[in-house]
Amino acid sequence: MRLTIGIAPFRAEKVARIVVTGTLLTAILEYFASSVWMYGMTRLTFGLTRACVTVANGMICDLVADPKERSKAMGKNFSAMGIGFLLGSALGGVMASPLDGYHAALLCNFGISLLSFVWTFTFLEETSKSGSASKSSSSSSPSSSASAIASSKASLLGALREILSNSDLRSLFLFHAMVLICNISPQHAYFEFMRLELELSTTLRGLFLVAVGVVSVAAQSTFSIVLSKLGMAKYVAMCIIGAAVSNFVAPLGGFALFTTATLAGTFFGVVSSTSLSTLSNASPAHLAGTVNGLHESLSNLALVIGGLYVPITYAMHMYAPFWISSFAFVFTIILLRPKLLFSQEPSKHKKTQ
């Protein structure tokens, strides 16, 4: 299998090996970090090799042709991410202790990274098999061959230009970008609020993130069912409004209100999975995998935006970063209403009449 990530196409198994190598290097640097500059280097190595989500989603887009099955597969993928987030938060929060210099947590992180490294280089065969399968199918089908050529020429910037040239895809992409940024960028504010205002210990913050992980897994596992019951338009509107309200009220009360609002916001945040799935399904076949590269780039951009505006606005007022995100959600649903998400399709019952 060949995935287009960035400018050049890579074999998926090679990208997976780069990712686990970077993760192991980051774990080693973190374990021996003795200064801010050395810790900053760990963020650099982690950022340069943070392509695991892009690879996984790209493989799903390439291997699962049916749009409905692809959405379910992406939901399972995000569920797996939630489980990893859950376990990592639990281990990190419980094992981390300033008294021993976080030695136990860093050692555990190194052990998990080493296990992932060895497993990937030793046992990862799925991508090689799928690669050989895709080769045989492409040689027998001219259309598949043409698609593969187009895919090899695609890049993130090229894909972005092609998406923005289509009015429906453009509005859907801008909507997804805004939702993703509104969801991710205020995370810094939530962490600071737990540490400074609620004064939770490291262990309690870790357990709190475990609860967030549980809700994230539940939301990602069930969003396709809820979506089929409510319909796309109602579901997306409910999630956007719910996220705006949860962000607005989260800092207004004590621990109980903050916890309730945060968990509710986690559930409503699954709307980004819906918009990503819709964008991937609606994009031309040769861009399906590359769309996920754009998604990963937007996720990183959201982290940067949050890192820039949260400290400044939080210093002005502790409610400010929460409310900025809340109002941004409201503006998103008012100004950007992609036809591919919000258009109401006639029901089957009406069609038969």
- Full set of structural domains in the chain with CATH: 2-136+153-339 (1.20.1250.20)
Residue 100 confidence (pLDDT): 61
Class of residue 254 by CB neighbours under 10 A (exposed 0-12, middle 13-18, buried 19+): exposed
Average pLDDT over residues 113-122: 83
What's at 113, amino acid-wise? S
Closest CA to 152 of 323, 4, 304: 4
Read off the pLDDT band of 209 (50, 70, 90): confident
Read off the pLDDT band of 126 (50, 70, 90): low
Read off the pLDDT band of 314 (50, 70, 90): confident
Q: What percent of the chain has pLDDT over 90?
A: 12
Residue 140 confidence (pLDDT): 41
CA distance 44 to 247: 30
Say which residue, 13 or 228, is predicted with more confidence: 228
Average pLDDT over residues 315-337: 90
On whether the CB atoms of residues 79 and 221 are closer than 8 A, the answer is: yes
Main-chain phi, psi angles of 144, to 5 degrees: -65, -40
Say which residue, 159 or 36, is predicted with more confidence: 159
What are 315's two structure tokens?
């210093």
Average pLDDT over residues 257-264: 91
Least confident range from 113-127, 273-287, 304-318: namely 113-127
Residue 331 confidence (pLDDT): 92
Q: What percent of the chain has pLDDT over 70?
A: 68
> What average pLDDT is seen over the chain?
75
Q: DSSP code of 166?
A: S
On whether the CB atoms of residues 87 and 207 are closer than 8 A, the answer is: no
Say which residue, 319 or 146, is predicted with more confidence: 319
Average pLDDT over residues 86-110: 72
Read off the pLDDT band of 231 (50, 70, 90): confident
CA distance 43 to 53: 17
3-state secondary structure of 103: helix
Average pLDDT over residues 315-332: 91
Residue 328 confidence (pLDDT): 93
Least confident range from 102-116, 250-264, 289-303: namely 289-303
Residue 125 confidence (pLDDT): 58
Average pLDDT over residues 163-190: 88
Average pLDDT over residues 112-132: 67
Average pLDDT over residues 195-207: 81
Read off the pLDDT band of 130 (50, 70, 90): very low
> How many C-beta atoms surround the C-beta of residue 305 within 10 A?
16
In tens, the pLDDT along 34-82 reads: 776 777 777 677 766 665 666 666 666 666 666 667 666 766 666 666 5
Residues constituting the chain: 353
Residues 6 or more apart from 278 whose CB is under 8 A from it? 172, 232, 340, 341
Class of residue 1 by CB neighbours under 10 A (exposed 0-12, middle 13-18, buried 19+): buried
Residue 218 confidence (pLDDT): 80
Residue 8 confidence (pLDDT): 40
Block residue for tokens 């050529």: 149
Helices and strands in the chain, H and E counts: 18, 2
Residue 175 confidence (pLDDT): 92
CA distance 110 to 178: 35
Residue 296 confidence (pLDDT): 76
Residue 7 confidence (pLDDT): 36
